Amino acid sequence: MNSRSHDEIVGRARDLVPTIAARAEETERLRAPHDDTIRELIDAELFSILVPKRWGGLGLDEQQRAILRITPEKVFFQE
């Protein structure tokens, strides 16, 4: 699982941007993440960035966690 590259993870996130943006209005109306968005994030294995390396995730360090505090658009386009 740790073999995924930074570029692959960023690419997966970028690929989801149009789909997530398209349902922004409905998400606002629901006042919760859309079920399809959660499923897409799971399928893209993006939640693995939150899982420690010792448990098979990508395990972010302090600097990488700081990047997550930036707006989602900036996270998706961090190089």
pTM for this one?
0.69
Q: Determine the angle formed by the axes of helices 6-22 and 35-43, rounding to 10 degrees.
A: 160
Taking residues 61-79, report their average pLDDT: 58
Question: How far apart, in whole angstroms, are the C-alpha atoms of residue 13 and residue 41?
Answer: 8
Give tens-digit pLDDT for 45-63.
888 888 888 898 887 777 6
The structural domains of the chain, with segments of one domain joined by +, span 6-73
